[in-house]
């Protein structure tokens, strides 16, 4: 499929952030960012993607998620910043939280770390606003994510966090539609080693096979 302006022409535009149209988007993966990218481009925002996710484990999973995000960014002509995969720092930040549940303090710490780096990049490179696609997932606590975003932005007087609700007006449904249309890789857990562990434990307890990395992709069959 060739990406053209016709893909976006029927979209309802979203409001421009208070600090202007230049926005740094922290992205975790192609499925979560696809709808956000399309919404921002359709609304005339000057978008750059910042991929900083040292939580993702194993490295094979990390590379697949990153390459899928790059593939769609290139298709849309959006700049893509590939940041460090500094897993050592991530493990140090979450040390002692290995048994915490998802959406708990470990996730808050993880979001803090990723948004702190994103806010720093925004500050150093003239982005007055940054946001994230993390909150579009119904599996995430939006208040938790927005709190981390605002806390990271508060470090710099020239940077603001944009807490737009990407789920509203059908955003959550379009996220799945775009994922099927683009045949994105379909990750089956949040990303970190503890999420993988807990998801696999649940699967085994419920008679399902453990996750196979790099196997499952969305299909266009259901949208054609």
Q: What is the pLDDT of residue 2?
A: 46
- For residue 4, being part of any structural domain is answered with no
- Could you tell me the pLDDT band of residue 205, with boundaries at 50, 70 and 90? very high
Q: What is the pLDDT of residue 12?
A: 74
Domain count, the chain: 1
Statement: residue 139 has pLDDT above 90: no
Per-residue DSSP letter, 30: H
Residue 60's domain is classified under what CATH number? 3.40.50.620
- For residue 10, being part of any structural domain is answered with no
Condensed to tens digits (0 to 9), the pLDDT of residues 46-94 reads 999 999 999 999 999 999 999 999 999 999 999 999 999 999 999 999 9
Condensed to tens digits (0 to 9), the pLDDT of residues 148-189 reads 999 999 999 999 999 999 998 899 999 999 999 999 999 999
Question: For 41-45, which contacts have Cβ atoms below 8 Å and span 24 or more sequence positions?
Answer: 41/8, 41/76, 41/78, 42/8, 42/9, 42/11, 42/13, 43/11, 43/13, 43/14, 43/15, 43/16, 44/13, 44/16, 45/16, 45/17, 45/21
Statement: residue 1 has pLDDT above 50: no
- For residue 15, being part of any structural domain is answered with no
Q: What is the pLDDT of residue 220?
A: 77
- For residue 14, being part of any structural domain is answered with no
- For residue 109, being part of any structural domain is answered with yes
What six digits make up the tokens of 45?
A: 């925002």
Tell me the C-alpha distance between 185 and 67, whole Å. 10
Tell me the C-alpha distance between 178 and 31, whole Å. 8
Condensed to tens digits (0 to 9), the pLDDT of residues 4-53 reads 555 666 677 898 999 999 999 999 999 999 999 999 999 999 999 999 99
Tell me the C-alpha distance between 24 and 52, whole Å. 12
Q: What is the pLDDT of residue 13?
A: 87
Cβ-contact 82, 216 below 8 angstroms: no
Q: In the sheet where 80-82 sits, what is the strand order? A: 80-82, 46-51, 22-26, 129-132, 160-161
Statement: residue 127 has pLDDT above 50: yes
Tell me the C-alpha distance between 143 and 194, whole Å. 22
- For residue 152, being part of any structural domain is answered with yes
Beta bridge partners of 51: 82
Q: Which tops the pLDDT comparison, 223 or 118?
A: 118
Domain around 154: 20-223
What six digits make up the tokens of 81?
A: 């910043």
- For residue 115, being part of any structural domain is answered with yes
Statement: residue 223 has pLDDT above 70: no
Q: What is the mean pLDDT of residues 127-154?
A: 95
Cβ-contact 85, 115 below 8 angstroms: no
- For residue 42, being part of any structural domain is answered with yes
Q: Which tops the pLDDT comparison, 201 or 171?
A: 201
Q: What is the pLDDT of residue 3?
A: 52
Statement: residue 106 has pLDDT above 80: yes
Which contiguous run of DSSP H or E holds residue 60?
Answer: helix 59-76
Q: What is the pLDDT of residue 8?
A: 65
């Amino acid at each position: 499929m060739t990406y053209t302006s016709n893909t976006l022409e029927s979209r309802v535009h979203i409001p421009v952030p208070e600090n202007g149209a230049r926005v740094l988007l922290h992205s975790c993966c192609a499925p979560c960012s696809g709808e956000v990218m399309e919404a921002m481009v359709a609304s005339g925002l000057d978008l750059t993607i910042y991929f900083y996710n040292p939580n993702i484990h194993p490295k094979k999973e990390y590379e697949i998620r990153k390459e899928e995000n790059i593939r769609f960014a290139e298709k849309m002509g959006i700049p893509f910043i590939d940041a460090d995969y500094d897993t050592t720092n991530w493990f140090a930040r979450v040390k002692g939280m290995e048994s915490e549940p998802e959406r708990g303090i470990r996730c808050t710490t993880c979001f803090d770390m990723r948004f702190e780096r994103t806010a720093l990049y925004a500050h150093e490179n003239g982005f007055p606003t940054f946001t994230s696609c993390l909150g579009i997932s119904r599996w995430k606590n939006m208040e938790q994510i927005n709190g981390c975003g605002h806390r990271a932005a508060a470090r710099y007087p020239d940077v603001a966090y944009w807490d737009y609700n990407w789920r509203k007006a059908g955003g959550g449904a379009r996220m799945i539609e775009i994922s099927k249309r683009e045949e994105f890789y379909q990750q089956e857990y949040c990303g970190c080693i503890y999420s993988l562990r807990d998801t696999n434990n649940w699967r085994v307890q419920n008679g399902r096979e453990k996750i196979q990395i790099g196997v499952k992709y969305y299909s266009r069959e259901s949208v054609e």
